[in-house]
Amino acid sequence: MAFKLFFLLMAPFFVLSLSFFSLAFVDADSNSTSSSDSPETICKSTQYPFFCKSVLPKYTRDVHDSGRFLIQRSSSRSLEFLKLLDKYLQNPSSLSPTTILALEDCQFLMELNLDLLSSSIGSVNKTNATLPDVEADDVQTWLSAILTNQQTCLDGLRETVSGSSVADELSGTTSNDTMLYSVSLALFRKGWVPRIRTWKPTRKHVTFRHGRLPFRMSNRTRAIYDSVTRRRLLQSVDDQITVTDIVTVSQDGSGNFTTISAAIQAAPNNTKSTAGYFLIYVTAGVYEEYVTIDKTKSYLFMIGDGINQTIITGNRSVVAGWTTFNSATFAVIGRGFVAAGITFRNTAGAINQQAVAVRNDADTSTFYLCSFEGYQDTLYARVLRQFYRECDIYGTVDYIFGNAAAVFQNCNIYPRLALSGQFNTITAQGRTDPNQNTGTSIQNCTITAAADLASSKLSTPTFLGRPWKVYSLTVYMQNFMGSLIDPAGWHIWDGSSPVNTLYYAEYNNTGPGSNTSYRVTWPGYHVINATVAANFTVSTFLLGDAWLTQTGVPYTGALL
Q: Where are the domains of the chain?
A: 39-192, 204-379, 396-528
| Residues belonging to the chain | 560
d(CA 507, CA 560): 12
Per-residue model confidence (pLDDT) at position 221: 54
d(CA 205, CA 444): 13
- DSSP code per residue over 163-198: TSHHHHHHHHHHHHHHHHHHHHHHHHHHHHS-SB--
**Angle formed by the axes of helices 63-89 and 165-192, nearest 10°:** 160
Residues 188/65, Cβ–Cβ less than 8 Å = no
According to DSSP, residue 221 is labeled: H
Phi first, then psi: give them for residue 548, nearest 5 degrees: -75, -30
HSE-CB at 344 with a 13 A cutoff on CA atoms is 32
Q: Is the CATH number 2.40.50.200 carried by domain 39-192?
A: no
The CATH class, in words, for 396-528 is: mainly beta
- What is the set of active-site residues? 398
Distances (CA, A) of 347 to 238, 352, 430, 460: 41, 10, 24, 20
Residues with Cβ within 8 Å of 404's Cβ and at least 6 positions away in sequence, in order, are 360, 381, 382, 383, 384, 385, 386, 438, 440
d(CA 433, CA 438): 9
Per-residue model confidence (pLDDT) at position 486: 97
Tens digit of pLDDT at every position of the chain (560 positions): 343 333 333 433 333 343 444 443 333 344 544 446 778 888 998 999 999 999 998 877 899 999 999 999 999 999 999 999 998 899 888 788 888 898 999 999 999 999 999 999 999 999 999 999 999 999 999 999 999 999 999 888 887 766 567 767 787 777 789 999 999 999 999 999 998 877 666 555 543 333 333 333 445 555 655 655 555 455 443 345 678 888 999 999 999 999 999 999 999 999 998 888 999 999 999 999 999 999 999 999 999 989 999 999 999 999 999 999 999 999 999 999 999 999 999 999 999 999 999 999 999 999 999 999 999 999 999 999 999 999 999 999 999 999 999 999 999 999 999 999 999 999 999 999 999 999 999 999 999 999 999 999 888 999 999 999 999 999 999 999 999 999 999 999 987 788 999 999 999 999 999 999 999 999 999 999 999 999 999 999 999 999 998 888 999 999 99
Fold classified for 204-379: Pectate Lyase C-like (2.160.20)
Q: Would you say the CATH fold of 396-528 matches that of 204-379?
A: yes
Phi first, then psi: give them for residue 40, nearest 5 degrees: -60, -45
Residue 164: what residue type?
S
According to DSSP, residue 53 is labeled: H
d(CA 66, CA 216): 53
